[in-house]
Amino acid sequence: MDDVCEVVRVEGGIVVGHDGSKCAQEALVWAGRLARRADLELHVVRAWAMMTAPQPKSWTPGYVPPLPDWEKAVHDELTTHVKAAGLDPAVRVTCHVVHKAPAQGLMTAAEGANLLVMGARGRGGFRGLLLGSVSDQLVHHSPCPVTVVRTGATGREIGAVGGSAVTE
């Protein structure tokens, strides 16, 4: 189900970027609903650096754990977020972690995707911005269509079109 690798490339489905933020969690829920309705696989991708990674269990003062320990800590945290999203069990979900700058890692992952989904804001410190820097880069440079989900915009189902629920 899950893998840890240096480069993530998917074929088809929905890629959702997840950095551990509330906005990313809401984007995950939104993407999960769309994946269920469209019968597409959901690829949850976390691009990370040591500065943003959770501490591995092997970390102690004066000891820097090896890279695989950091990757496992990131993967475990991502898996916890995916489980907390309460996605429909029918949705096929794969978690990927990649040790790259977020925009670069997500653009590479999305090269073969049907859609890239992002939260409007991530972990950056400029609260007044409409888009976070990663979301802004992806909107302009993504190799596939992008949906940016605003906080509080998970939508509600209002009807059906072609057998699929529509959200507003």
Q: What is the pLDDT of residues 77-94, one digit of tens each?
A: 999 999 999 999 999 999
The whole-angstrom separation of Cα 154 and Cα 167 is 8
Contact 151, 119 (CB under 8 A): yes
**Type of residue numbered 106:** L
How do residues 43-57 score in pLDDT, each as one tens digit? 999 999 888 889 999
Six token digits for residue 69: 């320990």
Q: Which segments of 39-162 does DSSP mark as H helices, in order?
A: 67-84, 102-109, 133-141
**What is the C-alpha separation between 142 and 137, in angstroms, rounded?**
8
Mean pLDDT, rounded, for 48-76: 91
| pLDDT at residue 7, rounded to an integer | 81
Kindly report, residue by residue over 96-140, the tens digit of the pLDDT: 999 999 999 999 999 999 999 999 875 555 454 455 788 888 999
- Residues 116, 149 contacting (CB under 8 angstroms): no
Q: Show me where the domains of the chain are located.
A: 3-167
CATH class of this structure's domain 3-167: alpha beta
Residue 41 and residue 92 in contact, taking contact as beta carbons nearer than 8 Å: yes
Residue 155 banded pLDDT, cuts 50, 70, 90:
low
pTM check: above 0.85: no
Q: Of 162, 159, 115, 154, whose CA–CA distance to 24 is shortest?
A: 154
At 160, is the secondary structure helix, strand, or coil?
A: strand
Residue 101 carries which DSSP code? -
What is the per-residue pLDDT for 122? 54
Tokens representing 24 are: 């990313």
State how far the Cα of 5 lies from the Cα of 102, in Å rounded to an integer. 14
